[in-house]
Amino acid sequence: MSLALSLARGAVTSPFKRAGRPGATLPAGRLRLPAAPAAPGRLAAYRTICGFPATGPLPVTYPHVLAFPLAMRLMTRRDFPLPVTGLVHTWIEITAHRTLRPEDSLELTVYAQELSLHRRGTEVTVVTEARLAGELVWESRSGYLSRHATRTEAPAPGKPSAPLPTVAEWRLPGNLGRRYAAASGDRNPIHLHPLTARLFGFPRAIAHGMWTVARCLAEIPDPATLRTVRADFRAPVLLPGTVTYATDGAAFELRGGEHGERLHLTGTTG
Written as one string, the DSSP assignment of 218-243 is TTSS-GGG--EEEEEE-S--BSSEEE
Tell me what pLDDT residue 257 has: 86
Of 22 and 256, the one with more pLDDT: 256
Tell me what pLDDT residue 155 has: 57
Q: What is the mean pLDDT of residues 15-35?
A: 78
- Whether cis (ω within 30° of 0) applies to the bond prior to 240 is yes
Tell me what pLDDT residue 87 has: 83
pLDDT digits (tens, 9 = 90+) for 110-161: 999 988 777 778 899 999 999 999 999 999 999 998 876 666 665 545 556 7
Please give the helix or strand (H or E) that residue 67 lies within, else none.
helix 62-75
Q: What is the mean pLDDT of residues 259-267?
A: 92
Share of the chain above pLDDT 70, in %: 87
Tell me what pLDDT residue 169 has: 97
- The answer to whether the beta carbons of residues 89 and 110 sit under 8 Å apart is no
Q: What angle do CA 148, 198, 62 make, to 5 degrees?
A: 80
pLDDT digits (tens, 9 = 90+) for 46-90: 999 999 999 999 999 999 999 999 999 999 999 998 888 778 899
Q: Beta strands 88-96 and 106-118: pairing type? A: unpaired
Q: What is the pTM of this model?
A: 0.90
pLDDT at 188 over 80: yes
pLDDT at 240 over 70: yes
- The answer to whether the beta carbons of residues 66 and 46 sit under 8 Å apart is no
Of 111 and 23, the one with more pLDDT: 111
Q: What is the mean pLDDT of residues 188-201?
A: 88
Tell me what pLDDT residue 15 has: 57
pLDDT at 10 over 60: no
Mean pLDDT of the chain: 89
Among residues 231, 219, 239, 215, which one has the least CA distance to residue 266?
A: 231
